[in-house]
Structure 1
Amino acid sequence: MTLPKGSDFQPPWPLRSGHLQTMLSSSGVRRVLLPRRARTVAEGAEHVMVSGGGDVRLSGAFTAQQARPEARGLAVLFHGWEGSVDSTYVLQTGSRLLADGWDVFRLNFRDHGDSHHLNEALFHSCRIDEVAHALGEIAERWPARPMALAGFSLGGNFALRAALQAPKLGIPLTYALAVCPIIDPAEGLFSLEKQAPWFYQAYFMQKWRHSLKVKQSLFPQHTYFELAELKQNLRGLTEALVLRHTDFDSLEAYLDGYSVAGETLRELTIPATIMTARDDPVIPVNAFEQLRLPSNVELDIARYGGHCGFIRGWDMTSFTDDYIAARFNAVADAG
């Protein structure tokens, strides 16, 4: 069986613009134009709570497949920063996997989607332990096998770190796939500030500030930020919240805490794929080229695709659907 490669993605002009791919990936236009089949994973989904360990609660949605007598396996999907289980790319990928016979679980990270009320402490990107704990509970409650994991952007970073932890935690994860994952957070933050067009930082900051305000309104007894802090740029607000709400003593230590750069993934024993685009304006491609990976990890750098875009045409469907489904199906068929 020949699996699709990033080099197979050859979108028509003008969809060869990385900026256009990136902007369309999460735009309202895309949500409107997507065919109905790209939303089927949301129909009849069971909305559930899973434990993140201790008193931590995370929300998610489970959809049982109806395409086959028995499920091909369990697919778990992680969204990106300030995304949710209902992000367009999550719905589209989940719907494709559902049609191929996979049970699908979509997980919300803390303070994403409508889950701000579940935990008093703020989300931050080093909370991998609660995500790994939730993954273990998901595996127990929904036992279809194999269990395969896919994540996008920050969710791709979480997916790779969860795959690193899975064997020692006894999580029966078979395969992990990361689309445009954050590799070196320090470099990515610098890129958003200094290299990427201003509107990317503006977009993320608008969503993040809104999320923080929602959190503050739900827990008025807790001071999450000062108004002056909320007005800072990405670096300034991140540093203020790190020093106020985490055990890290510097922004640099925090960013290093969720880095998977360099040789970090050399100990990854679970088969995995890392897919990105050379024209991604959000995450610099050189971070991927400097990775030191074991033979069981596939690195696939496409020429086009932007940041989590890979949009094929004006129906707004994504090449990543076929890409992820083909690799998940190959894992299931090999088992």
Structure 2
Amino acid sequence: MPIVKAPDYHPPPGFTNPHLQTIFPALLRRVTGVVYQRERIDTPDGDFLDLDWSRVGSPRLVVISHGLEGNSHRSYVLGMVRAFNRRGWDALAWNFRGCSGEMNRKPQFYHSGAAYDLDTVIQHVLDRFGYQHLALVGFSMGGNMTLKYLGERAENIPHILRAAVAISVPCELVSSARKMDTRLSNRLYLYRFLRMLRKKVEAKARLFPEALDPAPLRWIRSFRQFDDLYTAPLHGFKDALDYWQKASAKPLLAFITVPTLLLNALDDPFLTPECFPFKEAGSNPYLYLQAPRHGGHVGFVQWKSRGEYWSEERAIQFVTGQLDLQAQASSVGPQQRGRRCHD
């Protein structure tokens, strides 16, 4: 059953519009009850990453990766942290380079394919802490990074990594970036992202004037232009197209060996048909694709007394379902880790 259809998402009245689903949580959702403890770790290339921990004293840990120009304090991250904490999981929300409130040490920052930074975080967890179970959750760009990590590691996955969930993921970046650049209805999102990225490059240029020229920022109007001028050359790609092709997680989905749920809404304004890997899910027994009709981009709004969104409940349901299945398999004898569970 590679294509998951239940439990389905039913939006509240008035929330069938994908742009409302996308904008409402970003601007108006408030998540309380999460208190972080920050830890800074060094990267192998001499930079640093800031990790924000929310612990409840559990042997289980979820590592959460945010989206483009996000951070650990975005409402969608806080909501997922709180939901896992409530169910007895420690949570670690890590910040991409330059996203924690303090600029990183190097001219480079982060990009969609920077799964090596997620690997650094996971290796730190493995080396320093004695967790028995590990799960991954990634949103949008962080979801692509999560899927890329899983595909690149393939069989060489940490033994405590039990399941992963990737939400609202542009896993095929070429078509998604072009849609963001050309679709009139996406201009507001494009303008907002480019405004934040411009500020980041301007700050970087003051620190590293020999590496970044801020002058072209004045006329940049698309992701293609920004990635051609900054992302690609800073991170070793030939141009934007080369970056998008090499950073996309979709070609690596066939190599995933951990039960993984990819949750993409069909009405997500950021995604194209290429971002719904039905064929890959059909051929990989570890990859589940769920594509609800509604949900927008990192939306999935619902009204409940506990304040949890549907994507948070769905992620926990999938992860705990996989852990339960693996526990049952181990109790009856040696079985292949990560057999499929139709949750």
| TM more than 0.5 | yes
Q: Distance in 1 between matches of 2:49 and 2:170?
A: 22
Corresponding residue to 1:39 among 32, 38, 47 = 32
Aligned to 2:29: 30
CA contact (8 A) 2:107 2:234 kept: no
1:230, distance to aligned residue in structure 2 (A): 4.6
CA contact (8 A) 2:11 2:301 kept: yes
Task: Tell me the alpha carbon deviations over residues 78-101 of structure 1, each in whole angstroms, 9 at most, x when there is no partner.
Answer: 000100011110001101100100
Question: Is residue 302 from structure 1 mapped to residue 289 from structure 2 by the alignment?
Answer: no
Helix, strand or coil at the partner of 2:138 = strand
Aligned-pair identity (%): 21
Question: Is residue 200 from structure 1 mapped to residue 189 from structure 2 by the alignment?
Answer: yes
CA contact (8 A) 1:110 1:119 kept: no
- Aligned AA for 2:300? F
Aligned to 2:17: 17
1:6, distance to aligned residue in structure 2 (A): 6.1
* 1:72-151 correspondence runs (5 A): 73-151=60-138
Q: Distance in 2 between matches of 1:230 and 1:238?
A: 15
Q: Distance in 2 between matches of 1:95 and 1:328?
A: 15
Of residues 158-167 and 15-24 in structure 1, the stretch that sits farther from structure 2 once superposed is 158-167
CA contact (8 A) 2:54 2:92 kept: yes
- Aligned AA for 1:39? T
**Counterparts in 2 of 1:40 and 1:333: CA distance versus 1, 3 Å:** farther
Structure 2 unmatched runs, 5+: 328-343
1:193, distance to aligned residue in structure 2 (A): 1.4
Structure 1 unmatched runs, 5+: 32-37
Of residues 83-92 and 315-324 in structure 1, the stretch that sits farther from structure 2 once superposed is 315-324
- Aligned AA for 1:267? F
Q: Distance in 2 between matches of 1:242 and 1:9?
A: 36
CA contact (8 A) 1:5 1:323 kept: no
Of residues 234-243 and 293-302 in structure 1, the stretch that sits farther from structure 2 once superposed is 234-243
Aligned to 1:318: 309
* 1:128-207 correspondence runs (5 A): 128-166=115-153, 171-172=158-159, 173-195=161-183, 196-207=185-196
Helix, strand or coil at the partner of 1:302 = coil
Q: Distance in 2 between matches of 1:270 and 1:170?
A: 8
Q: Distance in 1 between matches of 2:42 and 2:194?
A: 29
CA contact (8 A) 2:113 2:144 kept: no
Q: How many residues align?
A: 317
Deviation >6 Å, runs of 4+ = none
1:163, distance to aligned residue in structure 2 (A): 1.5
* 1:234-313 correspondence runs (5 A): 234=222, 235-261=224-250, 263-289=251-277, 291-293=279-281, 294-313=284-303
CA contact (8 A) 2:164 2:259 kept: yes
Q: Distance in 2 between matches of 1:291 and 1:78?
A: 26
* TM-score, normalised by the number of residues in structure 1: 0.87
**Counterparts in 2 of 1:15 and 1:185: CA distance versus 1, 3 Å:** same
Aligned to 2:334: none
Task: Tell me the alpha carbon deviations over residues 255-276 of structure 1, each in whole angstroms, 9 at most, x when there is no partner.
Answer: 1111123x43111111101001
Q: Distance in 2 between matches of 1:225 and 1:126?
A: 23
Q: Distance in 1 between matches of 2:304 and 2:182?
A: 31
- Aligned AA for 2:72? V
CA contact (8 A) 1:110 1:122 kept: yes
* 1:203-214 correspondence runs (5 A): 203-214=192-203
Helix, strand or coil at the partner of 1:277 = coil
CA contact (8 A) 2:143 2:169 kept: yes
1:40, distance to aligned residue in structure 2 (A): 2.2
CA contact (8 A) 1:274 1:298 kept: yes
Aligned to 2:336: none
Of residues 283-292 and 78-87 in structure 1, the stretch that sits farther from structure 2 once superposed is 283-292
1:291, distance to aligned residue in structure 2 (A): 4.4
CA contact (8 A) 1:58 1:115 kept: no
Helix, strand or coil at the partner of 1:8 = coil
User: What CA RMSD, in Å, does the superposition of the two structures yield over aligned residues?
Assistant: 2.3
Of residues 197-206 and 4-13 in structure 1, the stretch that sits farther from structure 2 once superposed is 4-13
CA contact (8 A) 2:112 2:248 kept: no
- Aligned AA for 2:292? A
CA contact (8 A) 1:15 1:21 kept: yes
- Aligned AA for 2:270? V
Of residues 148-157 and 112-121 in structure 1, the stretch that sits farther from structure 2 once superposed is 112-121
Q: Distance in 1 between matches of 2:86 and 2:320?
A: 12
Of residues 124-133 and 15-24 in structure 1, the stretch that sits farther from structure 2 once superposed is 124-133
**Counterparts in 2 of 1:169 and 1:123: CA distance versus 1, 3 Å:** same
CA contact (8 A) 1:132 1:166 kept: no
Task: Tell me the alpha carbon deviations over residues 180-203 of structure 1, each in whole angstroms, 9 at most, x when there is no partner.
Answer: 112111101111012243111111
**Counterparts in 2 of 1:46 and 1:161: CA distance versus 1, 3 Å:** same
